[in-house]
Amino acid sequence: MASRVYGIDLGTTYSCISYVDESGRPVILANAEGEQTTPSVVFFENADNIVVGTAAKNATKAEAGRVAAFVKRNMGDASFTFDVDGKKYTPEEVSSLILRKLVQDAGAMTGETITDVVITCPAYFGAPQREATKNAGKLAGLNVKRIIDEPVAAAIAYGVREKLNDEVVLVYDLGGGTFDVTVMRLEQGEINVICTGGDHHLGGKDWDERILNYLVEEFMKAEPASGDPRDDAQSVQELLLQAESYKRSLSARESTKVGVSFGGARTQIELTRENVEELTRDLTERTIELTQNVLQEAASRGVPRVDKLLLVGGSSRMPVIARRVKETFSLDPQLFEPDLAVAKGAALMAISIEVSEGRKFSFPTPKVSAKIACSHALGLVVVTDDEGKNEEVVYLIHQNTQMPAEVVNTEFGTLRANQSTVYIRVVESNDAESPSLDANHQILEGEIANLPPNLPKGAPIHVTFGLREDATLNVRAIEPSSGRDLVMNASIEGVLNDKEIAEKRRDLIRKNVS
C-alpha cells in the first residue's frame, strides 16, 4: 500500500516519526516497544544483527564498545567512523539504521510502506551536515523530500495548532546534543526565518558529562583507594545513563540520592538541582549569549520585537532554562511539546509539500510553507598578492541570507597572464564571518581547465552561487570570452557520493534491524 509522506525528527539523543492522520492532525507513531521516542543509539550485537533504541542504550552498560551514540554531532565529518567487527561505519550509516528502525515500526503500525519523508536537522547545520543527513535517508532506502530546520518544524506545529497570524516567534531549541535559536515570522501559514544561530556541539549531553564528573569526584573523595571510574569505559557509560536519568528527575525534584559503585566500593551521593545548576552555569549562559546574538541580528534586520518564545527540545525542560530566559528577555517562555513538536512539524511540512506537487488526500491538509535562512556564510578562497602566497576568503552569500538565493560576482580574475587553469575552492564559515582561512572550512573544490591562450592578467572569471531552499549549494564559474565553465554541486567534502551510497546500502540492507 502506498503511503503518505512522513516527518522524522532524527535527534542526537532521541528520534521520532509522525504522520498526518485522517482528521488532518499530526500524530506521533510509537515504536515496537510502545515508546513515542526512540533513543538514537545503535548496538551492533553481531555482524548481521543491529539493535536500535532502548535495548541498545541499555547495552552500553555491558558492551560499550559495540554501541554507537551521539553520532549526529559528527555528521559531515569525514574523519569520524564508528569501528566494530573490523568495519568502519560513518555517521550517515549509523543514522540510517536509526531511520530504518523508525520507518519499520511506523509501517507495521499503519500498514503502509514508507518511502517518502521529510527529515529535520539543527538550524545551525551547514552544507556538509545537511547533505550527510539526506544521505542517511538514502542509505535507509528513503526518498528524502526535504531537509528542514528543527526550530522551523517546531514553529510549524505550533503555528498550525494555534492558528497564528503575523506573530514573531523565537524558538529556543535545546536538544540532547545540539542547540539552535531562531527568530521567525509566522503569517497566514507561511514561516519566514529572519535569522538563526546556535552550536551543534552544545546540548543535554554536556550537562550529563558535568554531572558524571561531579559524581566521580565525590565518589573518589569518599573512596580514595578505589580508583577513578572514568578509567573504565563501561563504568563511564553506566554513570552517563545515571547522570541523564537523575538530571531528568531533578526537573521535578529538588534533590536525589545517587549510588555510585566502582572497584568493590559503593557510596551514596546527594545531587541537588541547585548543585547541578551551578555545575552547568556556563553552559546555560552560553545558550543565553547565543540567543542575545540572534535577537540583535533580528533587530538589525528590522525585527526588533518578539511576540512569543517557545522552548523545545528535551533539555529545555530543566527549570533553570525557563527561569534564565524569562529573567534575560522579559518574556514568558512556553514549553511546547519539547520531545514531539519537531516531528509533528516535519509531518505537516511533508503533507504540504505533497499537496504543492499535486497529490490529493482524503483529509484536510494544512497549507504551510517556510523560507529559511542560511546558517553559515559561503565564499571563495582568493589570492591577494602577485606571488600567490597570501589567501583570504571573500563571501558571496552571507550568514542569515534567506533561501533560495543566487549571487553573481564578476570581480574575480586570473592571477597571471596566459593562465591555463583556474582552481576554485568554496568555503563555509565556522561561526562569525572572517576573511581568515582558519575561520572557515572547505566544502567544494574544482577547476576550469584549458582556458584560451594569451589571456591577460586579471582576465575576468564570473562566479555564481545558487543556494536552493533546502540549502543545497550550486556553484558555477565561467571564463566569459570562451564560455568555458565549471559547475560544482555534488562533491561536498566529507560527504558520501552516489557510488559510495549505493555500495554501502547494499551492505546495510543485508543486516537485520530491530
The catalytic residues are 9, 72, 150, 173
Return the residue matching grid coordinates 552517563: 240
Instruction: Tell me the three state secondary structure of residue 376.
Output: coil
8 A C-beta contact, residue 19 and residue 110: yes
**What number of other Cβ atoms are within 10 A of residue 184's Cβ?**
31
Q: Torsion angle, CA of 48/49/52/55, rounded to 10 degrees?
A: -150
Instruction: Tell me the three state secondary structure of residue 54.
Output: helix
Return the residue matching grid coordinates 545531587: 271
Angle at 240 between CA 72 and CA 120, to 5 degrees: 20
DSSP code, position 30: P
With 0-12 CB in 10 A as exposed, 13-18 as middle and 19+ as buried, what is 225? exposed
8 A C-beta contact, residue 236 and residue 61: no
Residue 121 phi/psi, 5-degree rounding, is -145, 165
Q: Alpha-carbon torsion 154, 156, 158, 161, what sign?
A: negative
Q: How far apart are CA 346 and CA 4, in angstroms?
A: 13
Q: How far apart are CA 339 and CA 210, in angstroms?
A: 22
**Spatial CA neighbour of 375 closest among 183, 186, 232, 512:** 183
